[in-house]
Amino acid sequence: MKIVYSSKNSGGSWWLSDEDWKKLEAAGWTVEWRNEKWLGALATSASKDFPSEEDAIREWEEVTGQDASDQGCEFCGPPHSFY
């Protein structure tokens, strides 16, 4: 199944760097690159086929070094979502 990761600007900044997006792309994720930075980000979403959402999250955490369950800003909400 296709799993989409979506990043949210939470707490006034993006939680993934441009390098993190490049690492996801190298790991086979299809990154939705922007032609120019949008609020400082070159990308805000990526997708890849996985057997389950749990498998996608596990790989995403390994590739980025991030924690998918980070809470982020209490006003902005969580910085990471998967669907």
pLDDT, one tens digit per residue, over 9-49 is: 987 889 999 999 999 999 999 999 999 988 889 999 999 99
Query: Which ranges of the chain does DSSP label H, i.e. alpha helix?
Result: 18-26, 53-64
Provide the β-strand partners of residue 2.
49
Q: Total structural domains in the chain?
A: 1
pLDDT score, position 56? 98
Is the pTM for the entire model greater than 0.85? yes
Say how far apart CA 57 and CA 74 lie, in whole Å: 22
Give the tokens for residue 34.
Answer: 């922007």
Print the domain residue range for 60: 2-82
Residue 17 neighbours by CB under 8 Å, 6+ apart: none
